[in-house]
Structure 1
Amino acid sequence: MRNKNFILMSGALSLLFTLLSGCSAGPQTETIIISSNEEINNVDQASSPFQVKKIYRLPYEYISSGQLLGWSSSDSVVASFKTGSIREGIELKRLTYPFKQSQIIPKIKMGGYQMILSPDGKHLSTISMSNSGVSLKVLSLEDGKETEITTFSNHMYIQDVSWSDNSRYLGYLTIDPSGREKDSLRLYDMESRTSMIYELKDFARGDTPISINVSDDGRGVLFTMFPEHIDQSRKRSILLGEMTDKKVEKQFTRPFGGKQNAWINNDQFVFLGYDGTLYEYDRRNGALSVILERVSTFRLSHDKKSIAYSLDAENVIYAGKLQGRNVLYNEPVYHGIVPANMYWSLDNKKLLIQGQTDSTEGQSFILEFE
């Protein structure tokens, strides 16, 4: 698809410059690698893995009143619905293949907000408030068991809750507007059932983190930073931090479109720039590479081998295979929708899509690939 047809620098030259810059005491330079299409020309496009086998339309209630949370298995999705019988109550429903009729998930009692489903579909994080304070909890979708992660008094804020892609870590920020306590990043380890606290160090004065994304090993974190004053010279930025010695050390920062980022592995991640360029950054050598251009939204599969994305000014969804710095095949898999959310199934064979059609009507459906 739209990979650059030239190379700014060869891989060997980029590596040489990287090694030299690491040994130099002078100013550091940034090498941006723009991928070639030579690899793509050698691929048999007829063997594309993204042939749509079937399209499943979700029931109307999932469009009109439900909030899709994601996949709970390779063949079922979960959504939350407000109930009229219980004040501010919420019930969860599971929609299972062939995605025609949903069932209420029993044993789950919901009353919080900011519900986030773990990527493996097994747990749901939720925040609840009371007169005594604010609590972060995790609920098991299998048996309804509730685990309280932390509780704070009302003068503290819990924000930017997110799961690592392997569902092991639940990360969140704690903010004290009064300044009596230091702002911190906290990780809850679902395996060891322990919490870790990291002070936010070396952050620009006045800048505020508005989202976090923790790596699978629990050592790296991507922040979306919001500047105190927005003008032409101060834009949102993405910041890579490393957790060490109970502090978050800043490693890399760059202006950011403020939309999306995703880990490929513990050392590499992708993010959208302001102009729709999809970049990949490798923190092992500091290489910044261009993967795609004009991207408006994207989603990586669970195995990080596939990508679904849309382009600016187009109502088409594409799917491709990630191979190094290239995206192969780049098949249009659906026309006529601007996607708002996309979720790959756990087996990476289906794609759940929410979005708006040309007539501005909302749609929710599932693409199943051959």
Structure 2
Amino acid sequence: MTNKHFILWSVILPLLVTLLSGCSSGPQTETIIIPSKEQINRVDQTSSPFQVKNIYRLPHEFTSSGQLLGWSSSDSVVASFKTESKPEQLQLKRLTYPFEHSQIMSEIKMDDPQMILSPDGKHLAMRSSFIRGDSLKVLSLKDGKATKIAKFSNQIYVQDISWSNNSRYLGYLTIDPSGRENNSLRLYDMESRTSKIIELKDFASGDSPVSIKVSDDGRSVLFTMFPEHTFQSGERTILLGAITDNKIEEQFTRPAVGEQNAWTSNDQFIFLGSDRKLYEYDRRNGALSVILERVSSFSLSHDKKNIAYSLYGENIIYVGALRGRNVLSNEPVYRGIVPTTMYWSLDSKKLLIQGQNDSTAKQSFILQFE
């Protein structure tokens, strides 16, 4: 070995020994956490903004003369129409993707009707008034078969009809203006085909129930009430009632706007307060939380994950992801309209909107999101 090579190895060898001894001092580890597929999807859903893919304008008849009832599937909308040739009959029409041409589903003979489509789009609850009294039926949109739920004398009338979010329970109020019979809340169970009557005697004494929303388990009801001392002013309150032993137990009440409320679980609901704040109430711990401010109206998707809303004094529609008490990725999705009706499709990917623009002209259209 030459002197030159000897000198080179004398420099490199100690350096290699030092490096090798450092590597052998102990194992070096690094922990990498790989999120599950569910976690990845959840992050993507809450972090991505809402983007409008398509806008579908509804035919003129659905805007000018039809009463929108909601979605019968993720790609079809249902509305009712009065006919000039037969004023005592209503036509049900379905508008299917791409929402250009409608088809007649059935014709219904009824006077002074009230029609409420179930959230799953399968049944239509119908109240009709006759000289002999009110009657309540459930119509299957699949086969057109009608089932009579109840019939009342002309001294009692049905004031409001409402479905639970899971379409199992049909709730309605019966009112006797003469006072001879007690006002009552009635629940019809679509699974067992049975009815339950809960008298409202001594319930919220002096206040008048206006509308109801039943929880998915059928054990709680949200009442919109006219308080006795503010009846003339039009102010309203929301009241949470629990059904126990065929009685209503009052659990929570607060001033509210109209009938703007929705269940998010059997123990939680959101509502629009009289101060234009959107609140969430959790009866398990009595927590009342503010979700949004300056809200004019809102609509919650079927899966409870998305919310569409408008702000007071604006003609803009926003859509956001509802996560607990927070609204994430809230984006303006349409400008130039004040919504009067908003319905989410069954797959929560489309939003049916009806309202007025700046020129007070009616508009009806569907937003499809990415």
- Which TM-score applies when normalising by structure 2? 0.85
The equivalent of 2:127 in structure 1 is 127
Which aligned segments of 4 or more residues in structure 1 are displaced greater than 6 angstroms? 43-46, 231-234
Take 2:229 and 2:190, find their aligned partners in 1: how far apart are those partners?
38
Aligned counterpart, 1:309: 309
SS at match of 1:285: coil
Could you tell me how far apart the structure 2 residues matched to 1:323 and 1:98 are?
31
Q: Secondary structure at the match of 2:62?
A: helix
Structure 1 position 206, deviation (Å): 1.9
Find the counterpart in structure 1 of residue 251 from structure 2.
251
The residue matched to 2:160 in structure 1 has which SS? strand
Letter in 2 for 1:165: N
**Aligned partners of 1:201 and 1:250 also within 8 Å:** no
Aligned length: 327
Aligned sequence identity (%): 74
Change (3 A) 1:359 1:351: same
Structure showing the higher helix proportion among its residues: 2
2:339 is aligned to 339
Is structure 2 residue 261 aligned with structure 1 residue 261? yes
> Who is 1:67 aligned against?
67
Which SS does the other structure have where 1:177 is aligned? coil
Deviation of the 1:259 alpha carbon: 3.8
Residues 316 and 338, structure 1, Cα contact 8 Å, conserved in 2: yes
For residue 339 of structure 1, what is the amino acid of its counterpart?
A: P
Q: Following the alignment from structure 2 to structure 1, what is the Cα–Cα distance between the partners of residues 350 and 255?
A: 33
Aligned-partner SS, 2:258: coil
Unmatched 5+ residue regions in structure 2?
1-42
Moved more, 334-343 or 251-260: 251-260
Q: In structure 1, what is the Cα distance between the partners aligned to 2:366 and 2:250? A: 39
Letter of the 1:206 counterpart? G
Does 2:161 correspond to 1:161?
yes
Q: 1:232 to 1:81 in 2, by over 3 A?
A: closer
CA contact (8 A) 1:49 1:369 kept: no
Contact (CA 8 Å) 1:350, 1:369: kept in 2 or not?
A: yes
- The residue that corresponds to 1:238 in the other structure is 238
Once residues 141 and 348 of structure 2 are traced to their aligned partners in structure 1, the CA distance between those partners, rounded to angstroms, is: 21
Partners in 1 of 2:234 and 2:353 — Cα distance? 33
- Offset of 1:257 from its aligned partner? 1.8
Give 1:271 shift.
0.4
What TM-score, normalized by structure 1, do the two folds share? 0.85
CA distance in 1, matches of 2:81, 2:101: 15
**What secondary structure, in the 3-state scheme, does the structure 2 residue paired with 1:258 have?**
strand
Match of 1:204, SS state, is: coil
8 Å contact from structure 1 (residues 297, 311) kept in 2: yes
Is the Cα–Cα contact under 8 Å of residues 202 and 250 in structure 1 kept in the other structure? no
CA distance in 2, matches of 1:233, 1:129: 29
298-307 or 195-204, which deviates more: 195-204
- d(CA) in 1 for partners of 2:259, 2:311: 14
Q: Which position in structure 2 is the counterpart of 1:150?
A: 150
C-alpha distance in structure 2 between counterparts of 1:116 and 1:180, whole Å: 29
Find the aligned partners of 2:77 and 2:229 in 1 and give their Cα distance: 40
Could you tell me how far 1:234 is from its partner in structure 2?
A: 9.3
**Structure 1 stretch displaced more, 294-303 or 132-141:** 132-141
Letter in structure 2 aligned against 1:75: D
In the other structure, the counterpart of 1:227 is 227
Structure 2: which amino acid aligns with 1:323?
R
Contact 1:79 1:92 in 2 (8 A): yes
Q: Distance in 2 between matches of 1:240 and 1:63?
A: 35
Give the deviation of 1:47 after TM superposition: 4.6
Deviation at 1:220, TM superposition (A): 0.6
Separation (CA, whole Å) in 2 of partners of 1:213 and 1:85: 36
Counterparts of 1:99 and 1:314, CA distance in 2: 28
The 5-angstrom pairing of residues 1-370 of structure 1 reads 47-106=47-106, 108-112=107-111, 113-230=113-230, 235-370=235-370
Contact 2:183 2:201 in 1 (8 A): no
CA–CA separation in structure 2 for the residues paired with 1:335 and 1:128: 38
User: In structure 1, how many angstroms separate the alpha carbons of the residues matched to 2:249 and 2:179?
Assistant: 21
Counterpart-to-counterpart distance in 1, 2:169 and 2:45: 38
Residue deviations 1:208-244 (CA, integer Å, cap 9, x gap): 0001010010001000110234289994211000011
C-alpha offsets along residues 51-73 of structure 1, whole Å, 9 cap, x if unaligned? 10000000011111111000000
Shift of 1:358: 1.2
Tell me the SS of whatever aligns to 2:151. Answer: strand
Q: Is the Cα–Cα contact under 8 Å of residues 57 and 366 in structure 1 kept in the other structure?
A: yes
Rounded to whole Å, the distance in 2 between the matches of 1:45 and 1:155 is 52
- 1:138/1:149 contact within 8 Å kept: yes
After superposition, the C-alpha distances for 1:158-211 in whole angstroms (9 at most, x for unaligned) are 111111111111101111122222111000001100000112255333210001
Q: Greater CA radius of gyration, 1 or 2?
A: 2
Letter in 1 for 2:187: L
Amino acid paired to 1:209 = P
